Structure 1
């Protein structure tokens, strides 16, 4: 099934309308459908009005109760997957203001407890020094002082011991010289210091590590409910459990090969020393 990026995240109402239409075609009231699939009538109503995003299990229970034919099940399931995927266009985010995106991320971090970051080509703001953050925004026209401030403010979440963080950092991400050599050395020192936080695991993946598969993008998984994937032109947001599982499996495969603890600190110290010389 193919679709335009602009369709992503806009199919929730279409999905709700389709489920409502199927129920009416089956001649069932909301109460009777709820009883058939062991679901509360209020939840059925919220799903049909687009106020609740149904899970794939919810979809399966509803379609089974409606005795939908296999072709229709496949069509509605595909629609549910599109509805669970969102496209955030980079140009639109810049027009709204990059500080607005930081507020969105802060909210997501506040509502999550376990974070997995795979950093392929550059560091995330949570790990970055102020100089590195400013340099990472230099290619975007405009005044980004508020965005920089919000990025630094978000770093407080790392010290919330109720939350667990795992960062996988490739050598390319750690050593790409976004700032002058002395500042890169300081940035690598910061990475090493963060490995001492009890709720944070930072693993490094040297260039000679043969990664499983072929990771193509930087991505983050929040708990096991949402994954964000960064591309050149924007961000994809996945909520479908099948998509999230693929990123969790890719992360786990790389995590097994990463250097942690003293091994990671030794490697980071060597890279920092190379910048200082």
Structure 2
């Protein structure tokens, strides 16, 4: 019964949204929720908080009777349908990120402190200890495909050195070489620019279907539509803060010069 009520809620929201002349994107913006949340509700799926559903109906400026009827429907649906498992939409399966990258048409990557996995040289990977030193062929397969890849890194990535730092010479040169590929965009967020939102970790978005996060101990994959939508919005904000093309190259080359000077003073 709860599932049927969720479907009814979705149909009502779609009908009322269309009657108000709003797109799903516009309704999400007015309600202050990610756009995938609107799609999730309209397709009859449960969201974590029924208050979000009520918020969507509230911005449609309904009459008291209609608003009350829908509030009762939402309350009944969420009382009858099973609560969402806390681990729904989360996977810890090793190797999932590589499979997602090979199957995606659009890959968007952000890192705040380390070189993105897809751009790491074997030497950097070995120093970093990510266990991927032997996976260079897989990385090249992703880069060589016809998918579009956008990498956004904080300037700190260019100046954070694993091990002795010797691997960074080849790593920085590799970044510049990869940036020349027609299907790749490399952006750098200058250290003097505020991101607006503090990055807690790096992440990769595959199309609009999944997000992977590399932690100290494992690889985490998120597939919940609302969560993926939020990560897309976060990435777009970081992308707007970045510089691309020649301006990005200048920052990479400056980091390379500083690296040579520092290593030279050590040795």
What does residue 134 of structure 1 align with? 126
What does residue 198 of structure 2 align with? 214
What does residue 154 of structure 1 align with? 139
What does residue 172 of structure 2 align with? 188
CA distance in 1, matches of 2:162, 2:221: 27
Alignment map for 1:108-257 (pairs within 5 Å):
108-137=100-129, 144=131, 147-160=132-145, 162-257=146-241
Alignment map for 1:256-267 (pairs within 5 Å):
256-267=240-251
Question: For the structure 1 residues 83 and 75, does the alpha-carbon distance in structure 2 shift closer, same or farther, using more than 3 Å as the test?
Answer: farther
Query: Which consecutive unaligned segments of at least 5 residues does structure 2 have?
Result: 12-39, 47-71, 262-267
- SS of 1:227's equivalent? strand
Number of equivalent positions: 210
CA distance in 2, matches of 1:75, 1:129: 52
Question: For the structure 1 residues 112 and 81, does the alpha-carbon distance in structure 2 shift closer, same or farther, using more than 3 Å as the test?
Answer: farther
TM-score by length of 1: 0.64
**Cα displacement string for residues 85-118 of structure 1 (whole angstroms, at most 9, x for unaligned residues):** 2152xxxx7xxxxxxx34x333212221101101
CA distance in 2, matches of 1:85, 1:151: 29
Question: For the structure 1 residues 181 and 235, does the alpha-carbon distance in structure 2 shift closer, same or farther, using more than 3 Å as the test?
Answer: closer
2:75 equivalent to 1:71: yes
Question: For the structure 1 residues 181 and 137, does the alpha-carbon distance in structure 2 shift closer, same or farther, using more than 3 Å as the test?
Answer: closer
Task: Please tell me whether the aligned partners of residues 81 and 240 of structure 1 are also in contact (alpha carbons under 8 angstroms).
Answer: no
Alignment map for 1:83-94 (pairs within 5 Å):
84-88=88-92
Task: Please tell me whether the aligned partners of residues 186 and 272 of structure 1 are also in contact (alpha carbons under 8 angstroms).
Answer: no
Question: For the structure 1 residues 70 and 192, does the alpha-carbon distance in structure 2 shift closer, same or farther, using more than 3 Å as the test?
Answer: same
Q: CA deviation at 1:259?
A: 1.3
- SS of 1:213's equivalent? coil
Question: For the structure 1 residues 57 and 204, does the alpha-carbon distance in structure 2 shift closer, same or farther, using more than 3 Å as the test?
Answer: same
Task: Please tell me whether the aligned partners of residues 164 and 200 of structure 1 are also in contact (alpha carbons under 8 angstroms).
Answer: yes
CA distance in 1, matches of 2:80, 2:257: 56
CA distance in 1, matches of 2:244, 2:101: 24
CA distance in 2, matches of 1:187, 1:71: 55
Question: For the structure 1 residues 77 and 181, does the alpha-carbon distance in structure 2 shift closer, same or farther, using more than 3 Å as the test?
Answer: farther
The answer to which of 73-82 and 203-212 deviates more is 73-82
CA distance in 2, matches of 1:272, 1:80: 49
What does residue 51 of structure 1 align with? none
RMSD: 3.5
Aligned equivalent of 1:272, options 252, 256, 259: 256
Task: Please tell me whether the aligned partners of residues 181 and 276 of structure 1 are also in contact (alpha carbons under 8 angstroms).
Answer: no
- SS of 1:210's equivalent? coil
